[in-house]
Structure 1
Amino acid sequence: MIRLKFYGLGGQGIVTAAKMLSEAVSLHEGKYAITVPAYGHERRGAPVNTSIIVDDEPVLLNSFVYEPDIVLVADHTIIDKSIDISEGIHENSILVLNTEEENVLNVYKKYNFKEVYYVDATKIAMENIGRAIPNGSMLGALAAIGIVKIESVEKAIRTTFGEKAGDKNAKAARNAYEKIKKM
């Protein structure tokens, strides 16, 4: 069982990304997944988080993730909004972060994740889809660390967004997959 927690801001497609991840593993890899979003104030720019559980066996649990194995942060400013992205992490928890700024990476070191992966998913989204919505790019980053195959992510993205927008977002995912770095 892999327990994931996605953090971001309203309008970045965090809930959609979680649903696409669930679809990628469930429909294209023969695994099981459940997604439980937490919206908060439900407005653009408000903190949003989503819990996802992925397993080879049916997921019988329907709750938030309290001890994440992987934390995905789609907007590094989330910590400025009094959100503790390290809540519940354990000695083997991994962070996947949307940034390439050295000063931001230094701030995130304090959270003591076992491994930290990073990519400028927003820049990749702007280059590929023309909008600062990093959800597809961040799914590519997850694929790069082995949670899901990039081909499964691309298929789920195309299913969600349709042909034109799907192709652009799938390209963004592939770019992030190829550009991710480990701290």
Structure 2
Amino acid sequence: MIKLKFYGLGGQGIVTAAKMLSEAVSLNEGKYAITVPAYGHERRGAPVNTSIIVDDEPVLLNSFVYDPDIVLVADSSIIDKGIDISEGIHENSVLVLNTEDENVLERYKKYNFKEVYYVDGTRVAVENIGMAIPNASMLGALAATGLAKIESIEDAIRITFGKKAGDKNAKAARDSYEQIKKM
């Protein structure tokens, strides 16, 4: 069982990203997944999070994730809004972060994740879809952790967004996947 927590701001497609990940692993990789979004604060720009559980067996647990194996942060300013992205992490937890800013990376070191993957997912999104909505590009970054194949992510993105928008968002995912760095 792999437990994930996605953090971002309203309008960045965090809940949609979680649903696409669940579809990617369920439809293309023979795994099971459940997505549990935290609703009630979904106005544009407000902190948002969602929980995802992925397993080889049917997921019978339907709750938020309190001890994440992987944390994805779609907007690095989330920690400036009083959100503790390290809540419940353990010695093997991994961070996937949307930034290329050295100062931001330095600030995130204090959380003591075992591994940190990072990419400027917002820039990649703007280059590919013309908008600063990093959900698809950050799923590509997540694929670099080995959780899901990039092809599975691309397929789920195309299913969600349709042909035209799907192709652009799938390219954003692929570009982030290819540009990922590890700290």
Deviations 1:121-174 (A, max 9, x none): 000000000000000000001111100000000000000000000000000000
Q: Residue 174 in 1 paired to residue 181 in 2?
A: no
1: CA distance, partners of 2:105 / 2:166:
30
The answer (yes or no) to whether the contact 1:17–1:136 under 8 Å persists in 2 is: yes
Equivalent residue, structure 2, for 1:122:
122
The answer (yes or no) to whether the contact 1:40–1:47 under 8 Å persists in 2 is: no
Percent of aligned positions that are identical: 86
- How far residue 40 of structure 1 moved from its aligned partner, in angstroms, is 3.6
Equivalent residue, structure 1, for 2:6:
6
- How far residue 39 of structure 1 moved from its aligned partner, in angstroms, is 2.6
Equivalent residue, structure 1, for 2:16:
16
RMSD: 0.5
- How far residue 41 of structure 1 moved from its aligned partner, in angstroms, is 1.9
Mapping for residues 23-172 of structure 1, pairs under 5 Å: 23-172=23-172
Q: How many residues end up aligned between the 2 structures? A: 183
2: CA distance, partners of 1:24 / 1:127:
24
2: CA distance, partners of 1:52 / 1:4:
5
Report SS of the residue matched to 2:148: coil
Q: What TM-score, normalized by structure 2, do the two folds share?
A: 0.99
Give, as a single letter, the amino acid of the residue that structure 1 aligns with 2:167. D
2: CA distance, partners of 1:181 / 1:40:
34
The answer (yes or no) to whether the contact 1:39–1:47 under 8 Å persists in 2 is: no
1: CA distance, partners of 2:13 / 2:127:
17
